[in-house]
């Protein structure tokens, strides 16, 4: 399960293993960190917070369900449950889509916007502290490129890919 070419599998090199492990550690710790920060300060997991942010940036503070799922890179099922919960909290409301009777718009409520306004500073601080404060400008640039490459690789253009929001 470790080093170089056996049997036809192109195993990871020592450096690659090291990088992969660092990646898993960093992402696991960071997700845990932000989930806790937001659960404490905003009463919701990180991904739910991201949904509210998306809505706050959309025209009319609203978005079609599938669009929202696509932007958040999650399944529509997951989004349905999430929006149901956010609706119970009074931060989001559903509206029928006028042009397509199957469609629903998720709308950020005023209370939702207000809660976002209150918790944004703390969240930015946490992100900065965990990531941007620790990296040089050059590292930030390079990091952005790398993440872009990986993200793009996982959702190719001409697409038959198994993407969450199409499932």
Binding of residue 147 to a second copy (CB under 8 A): yes
Q: Indicate the residue among 14 and 155 with the shorter CB distance to DNA.
A: 155
Minimum CB–partner distance for residue 74 and DNA (Å)? 6
Binding of residue 22 to a second copy (CB under 8 A): yes
Task: Please report the DSSP string for the chain in residue order.
Answer: --SS-BTTB-PPPHHHHHHHHHHHHHHHHHHHHHHHHHHHHHSS-HHHHHHHHHHHHSGGGEEEHHHHHHHHT--HHHHHHHHHHHHHTTSEEEEE-SS-TT-EEEEE-HHHHHHHHHHHHHHHHHHHHHTGGGS-HHHHHHHHHHHHHHHHHHS-SS-----GGG-
Among 12, 33, 39, 126, binds DNA (CB under 7 A): 39
Binding of residue 144 to a second copy (CB under 8 A): yes
Binding of residue 118 to a second copy (CB under 8 A): no
Minimum CB–partner distance for residue 4 and DNA (Å)? 31
> How far apart, in whole angstroms, are the C-alpha atoms of residue 44 and residue 13?
39
Summarize as ranges the residues that interact with DNA (CB under 7 A).
32, 35-36, 39, 44-45, 47-48, 64-66, 74-85, 94, 97, 100-104, 167
Chain positions contacting a second copy, by CB under 8 A: 1-2, 7-12, 15-16, 18-20, 22-33, 36, 50, 53, 56-57, 72-74, 116-117, 120-121, 124-125, 127-132, 134-135, 139-151, 153-155, 162, 164
């Amino acid at each position: 399960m470790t080093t170089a070419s056996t049997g036809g599998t192109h195993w990871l090199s020592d450096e690659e293993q090291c990088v992969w492990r660092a990646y898993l550690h960093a992402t696991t710790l960071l997700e845990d960190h932000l989930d806790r920060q937001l659960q404490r300060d905003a009463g919701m997991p990180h991904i739910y917070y991201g949904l509210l942010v998306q809505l706050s940036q959309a025209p009319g503070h609203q978005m079609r369900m599938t669009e929202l799922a696509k932007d958040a890179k999650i399944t529509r099922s997951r989004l349905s449950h999430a929006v149901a919960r956010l609706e119970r909290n009074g931060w989001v409301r559903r509206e029928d889509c006028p042009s397509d009777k199957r469609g629903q718009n998720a709308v950020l409520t005023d209370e939702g916007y207000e809660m976002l306004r209150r918790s944004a500073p703390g969240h930015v601080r946490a992100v900065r502290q965990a990531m941007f404060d620790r990296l040089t400008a050059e590292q930030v640039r390079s990091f952005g490129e790398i993440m872009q490459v990986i993200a793009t690789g996982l959702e190719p253009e001409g697409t038959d890919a198994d993407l969450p929001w199409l499932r």
